[in-house]
Structure 1
Amino acid sequence: MKGVACTWMLLSMCLLGHLIIYGEANEAEVLGDFLKSRLSKKPSPTVHSWAWLNEKTGNYPNYIQPQDGSMEADKIGALPSQPNVVDFNHYSGYVTVDSKAGRALFYYFAESPNNSSTNPLVLWLNGGPGCSSLIGAMTELGPFRVNNDGETLFRNNFAWNNVANVIFLESPAGVGFSYSNTSSDYQHTGDKSTARDAYTFLINWLERFPQYKTRDFYITGESYAGHYVPQLAYTIFLNNKKANQTLINLKGIAVGNGWIDDHTGYWGQFDYLWTHALNSDETNKGIHTYCHYFNDKDPKECGDFVIKAYNEPGDIDGYNIYAPLCQQDSSSIKNSYDSVNNFDPCSTYYMSSYLNRAEVQTALHAKVSTWDLCSHSIDSWIDSPATILPIIKNLMTSGLQIWLYSGDVDSVVPITSTRYAIQKLKLPVKAAWRPWSTNDEVGGYVEEYEGLTLVTVRDAGHLVPSYQPARALTMISSFLQGALPPA
């Protein structure tokens, strides 16, 4: 066992290096560092994951505070340098999830321009762990994108609030504008506390916005939200069951390029790298000869080939293996894209510049003066199952609509990892693999299983709506309608 632990520590250390070399975003560094520490300390994936289910994780007290007047106070008059015509209401502010600790979560909420009174309610969560969901709001599926000047906004015509009322939640405390007045909170953060606080947020947010209490509700997210989304859904399910009433009208979940299972996650990476001409035959053969999950024939040989596997692709963006890199010191950051149809590799820098302007923070009702893409204040992550598949399996029995979608040019959490994870569930096929389309082009592929649907988005990276906004909108519209994407 000593040699086994050593091998997978090496693997996770290599993953960290792989992510830092490939990507320009702090998200990658956070995910890699997290997996490095977690896999070196917790070699058994089975006991921990089932312990999560066996514990009564949903039985939290309904921590509800009076919310009178808060909705009106949170309404945004106008964001600095927003487009001239904004035809929807948007809000932002804080919901206290623990008054004793002074812990409060920040949200941004964009209502639909049309049919806001009937469109469903959607919660969006970015991953990390510890990265801001304003990434989703400002570079992916939100109503605005930031121009390359870092000061002005332009409209995202393919924003998801066209078909839903969307909440972007910065979670847990310490991420983005969310905070705690008790610094020790940042040293005791993990999957369970994140699910608990997100649930407390939702219960109180619905008191603040009572018109949404009975609305159809969906949870969406990407990357490490492969943990966040199912865990929060399971928490809602247990609390509804305990209360014997529908406290939150949860209808479904959708996870994009989600890290949901360590075993299939890593092996999906290796196979993706080789099949996309990013690894040599020799390296791929070495991985499959010497590396076997928790049963390595030769730990040293395995570790050597893992290092090669992550070094061979070179300096590319693992989140989209065909995308350009952001060159901050070159003219690329000065190029004007100003269109959601043209992916800008430097967009996170524009967003960071915008959100750190004092007038923007005032308009957003933010109480934290420095905004970061990912948290530097969460020093440790105290619990995380090595697989979320048992939770997903439980949710399937509850009748929830469950979609796993995947951009097909992401090598960090690739489509192969997602497909291998689904294979472990051994689900019967309900509707065979087929293409789906947007604007008379193939948008991706879909396969429906009993209780779960797999959707790929063609030519999209890890942040699907950033790379393919039109296809992402078609995909999520179909999900909310309870239908497969159009053939």
Structure 2
Amino acid sequence: MDFLWKLIVCLTLVLNVVSVVGAATGKHWKWGYDFNNGLINNSPENEVHLVTALPGQPEVEFRHYAGYVTVDDKNGRALFYWFYEAMTSPREKPLVLWLNGGPGCSSVGYGATQEIGPFLVDTDGRGLKFNPFSWNKEANMLFLESPIGVGFSYSNTSTDYNNLGDNFTANDAYTFLHKWFLKFPSYKTRTFYIAGESYAGKYVPQLAELIHDKNKDPSLYIPLKGILLGNPETSTAEDWSGLVDYAWSHAVVSDETHKIITKNCVFNSSDPWSNDACNKAVDEVLKQYKEIDIYSLYTSLCISNSLNWNYKPTQVMMNLSSKMMPRIMGGFDPCLDSYANTFYNKLDVQKALHVSGWYQEYDGLTFATFRGAGHAVPCFKPSESLALFSAFLSGQSLPSMRSA
């Protein structure tokens, strides 16, 4: 079902100017790889999108590209991407599309530069630092700003924003992929995965289903092999029930509030907010969650007066009739001054404390729990999340013991 939702951009993204090669610089690049034959397809589009002078970028040996792909010429609708080649042996490694959730969270501003990309925004916000646990160690990573209105993605037709929804998002992402493959043809036959977190629990399966259905036409074939979801949003009604139960079991709300909701709220009904008692009780849950980080209850909120931006702990991300589902980018110190977070994510500290990840395997499904992590797992457990990603790509079981 395609839920209607109000788009809230959860991250205001302001980047320094990225210099790329093109006519304005007078530079022309003739080098590169073709992942099949040894020389890259050096189309003008590739040359324009190659990032060559990103401010504060650590020196690396792999290339990366950023730019727009127009998905609707008539309406002027374009999606922004940032693509990183794999650190080593890129022609031997798969292609992975990463989608952040929200709806409205930037895959570039959050996923690529705060979670799993090779360049993480430094604590002062003025530079970048190298991420030793970047997922492009294992794959060629493509981060997409989706849908329009997120990050740098846009439309020149204002009515497009009134049509936003899960189906709209999936169709644009599908169009993007085929047009992106025209710019990077050597990747069209590469083993392909789709990964994401949070509301991408809706985005990823819908896009995967669309690819599967369209693959019946050989000319449209995309070699999709699997999908990977982190803390996914899957069912609106179940998510509401889970949110309430979690709040109650972790002493966020009282027994009385929980009983009122249990008695009066039917979240899978056509109008779950018609009951006044349910409405008031749920409002109490949301009121309490405004005081804490909903996805990392024991992480302190930023209280610094020196910040030059306005942090709001609860971001409204999903519309269920007239009531909004709260979504926040939890899982780390919002002031980016996470000394304890850094310390407890050091491998030697975790080994000394005998910290273990935990997982359970079913037929065709592995369920992994990352102890001590918040909603955005790679922020808390970068080495463990990379190990999971590596095992997923190789089709192997997760390691039973932590490696050095």
TM-score, scaled to structure 2: 0.74
Which residue number corresponds to residue 26 of structure 2? none
What CA distance in whole angstroms lies between the structure 2 residues aligned with 1:71 and 1:382?
A: 42
8 Å CA contact 1:174, 1:375 repeated in 2: no
8 Å CA contact 2:299, 2:331 repeated in 1: no
Query: Shift in Å at residue 314 of structure 1?
Result: 5.9
Which residue number corresponds to residue 319 of structure 1? 295
What CA distance in whole angstroms lies between the structure 2 residues aligned with 1:464 and 1:326?
A: 19
Which residue number corresponds to residue 214 of structure 2? 239
Q: Looking at both structures, which has the greater relative contact order when contacts are Cα pairs under 8 Å and sequence separation is at least 6?
A: 1
List per-residue Cα deviations over 1:53-91 (Å, max 9, x = no partner).
xxxxxxxxxxxxx994212221111311112x2121111
Which residue number corresponds to residue 113 of structure 1? 87
- Are residues 120 and 261 of structure 1, via their aligned partners in 2, closer, same or farther at CA, if it must alter by over 3 Å? same
What CA distance in whole angstroms lies between the structure 1 residues aligned with 2:45 and 2:142?
A: 16
Q: Pick from 160, 174, 178 the counterpart of residue 185 of structure 1.
A: 160
Matched, 1:155 2:155: no
Q: Pick from 232, 238, 252 the counterpart of residue 226 of structure 2.
A: 252
8 Å CA contact 2:237, 2:268 repeated in 1: no
> What SS does the corresponding residue of 2:213 show, helix, strand or coil?
helix
What CA distance in whole angstroms lies between the structure 2 residues aligned with 1:160 and 1:223?
A: 18
Unpaired runs of at least 5, structure 2: 1-5, 13-40, 322-328, 333-349
TM-score, scaled to structure 1: 0.62
Which residue number corresponds to residue 271 of structure 1? 245
Which residue number corresponds to residue 143 of structure 2? 168
Which residue number corresponds to residue 207 of structure 1? 182
Matched, 1:448 2:329: no
List per-residue Cα deviations over 1:376-395 (Å, max 9, x = no partner).
9xxx9999xxxxxxxxxxxx
Letter in 1 for 2:303: Q
Which residue number corresponds to residue 430 of structure 1? none
Query: Shift in Å at residue 175 of structure 1?
Result: 1.8
What CA distance in whole angstroms lies between the structure 1 residues aligned with 2:320 and 2:170?
A: 13
Letter in 2 for 1:306: V
What CA distance in whole angstroms lies between the structure 2 residues aligned with 1:382 and 1:213?
A: 38
Counterpart mapping for 1:323-342 below 5 A = 323-330=299-306
Letter in 1 for 2:10: E
Query: Shift in Å at residue 153 of structure 1?
Result: 0.8
- Are residues 472 and 98 of structure 1, via their aligned partners in 2, closer, same or farther at CA, if it must alter by over 3 Å? same
Q: Pick from 114, 138, 142 the counterpart of residue 139 of structure 1.
A: 114
Letter in 2 for 1:228: Y
- Are residues 102 and 308 of structure 1, via their aligned partners in 2, closer, same or farther at CA, if it must alter by over 3 Å? closer
Counterpart mapping for 1:51-70 below 5 A = 68-70=43-45
- Are residues 187 and 306 of structure 1, via their aligned partners in 2, closer, same or farther at CA, if it must alter by over 3 Å? closer
Q: Percent identity?
A: 47
- Are residues 303 and 100 of structure 1, via their aligned partners in 2, closer, same or farther at CA, if it must alter by over 3 Å? closer
- Are residues 67 and 129 of structure 1, via their aligned partners in 2, closer, same or farther at CA, if it must alter by over 3 Å? farther
- Are residues 147 and 244 of structure 1, via their aligned partners in 2, closer, same or farther at CA, if it must alter by over 3 Å? closer
Query: Shift in Å at residue 237 of structure 1?
Result: 0.4
Which residue number corresponds to residue 127 of structure 1? 101
Which residue number corresponds to residue 467 of structure 1? 380
What CA distance in whole angstroms lies between the structure 2 residues aligned with 1:310 and 1:183?
A: 32
Letter in 1 for 2:286: Y
- Are residues 127 and 67 of structure 1, via their aligned partners in 2, closer, same or farther at CA, if it must alter by over 3 Å? farther
- Out of 183-192 and 214-223, give the one that drifted further: 183-192
8 Å CA contact 1:322, 1:409 repeated in 2: no
List per-residue Cα deviations over 1:9-29 (Å, max 9, x = no partner).
xxxxxxx9xxxxxxxx95399
Q: Pick from 75, 91, 94 the counterpart of residue 65 of structure 2.
A: 91
Letter in 2 for 1:285: K
> What SS does the corresponding residue of 1:131 show, helix, strand or coil?
coil
Q: Pick from 282, 299, 305 the counterpart of residue 275 of structure 2.
A: 299
Query: Shift in Å at residue 171 of structure 1?
Result: 1.1
- Out of 102-111 and 320-329, give the one that drifted further: 320-329
- Are residues 206 and 439 of structure 1, via their aligned partners in 2, closer, same or farther at CA, if it must alter by over 3 Å? farther
Matched, 1:281 2:264: no
What CA distance in whole angstroms lies between the structure 1 residues aligned with 2:268 and 2:206?
A: 26
Unpaired runs of at least 5, structure 1: 1-15, 17-24, 30-65, 335-345, 350-373, 384-406, 411-437
What CA distance in whole angstroms lies between the structure 1 residues aligned with 2:183 and 2:195?
A: 21
8 Å CA contact 1:130, 1:375 repeated in 2: no
Query: Shift in Å at residue 272 of structure 1?
Result: 1.2
What CA distance in whole angstroms lies between the structure 1 residues aligned with 2:134 and 2:98?
A: 12
Counterpart mapping for 1:339-354 below 5 A = none
Letter in 2 for 1:483: Q
